[in-house]
Amino acid sequence: MTTNMVRKQIYIYKRQDILLKRLSQTRGVSEAELIRQAIESELGGAHSQPVAADRTAWNELLAFWQERRALGKTGEPYRWNREEIYAERESRWLRDRHPDEQEKQE
């Protein structure tokens, strides 16, 4: 702990305590650091640190993009017409409205 710091004792609501603990765990920093960052942010300071990047989430997103790109390599846009869309929507509506009749047909 640096000598430039001053100890403060404060009261917060239980809800705030729970959220502070969760955020601290998620970001991997102490609760005190989160409070310092919030104070800096409120006072307009630029000393707050950005959230650490989550490499796992980034890798999952890249994998998803690669899968999507592999699905449609034609480069041609999907063509549709209004009648197809209405017919598809109507069939879903009828299926959802009368599910027991759908089971009988199967």
Q: Using alpha carbons, select from 64, 34, 59 the residue that is nearest to residue 48.
A: 34
pLDDT digits (tens, 9 = 90+) for 49-72: 566 677 888 888 899 988 888 876
The confidence score (pLDDT) of residue 73 equals 65
Tokens 């919030």 appear where? 38
Most confident option among 14-18, 44-48, 79-83: 14-18
Phi, psi of 85 (to 5 degrees): -65, -45
Task: Read off the pLDDT band of 75 (50, 70, 90).
Answer: low
The predicted model scores a pTM of 0.41
Q: Is the pLDDT of residue 40 over 70?
A: yes
Residues 6+ apart with CB under 8 A from 27: 34, 51, 52
pLDDT greater at residue 68 or residue 76: 68
Minimum mean pLDDT among 39-48, 68-77, 97-106: which range? 97-106
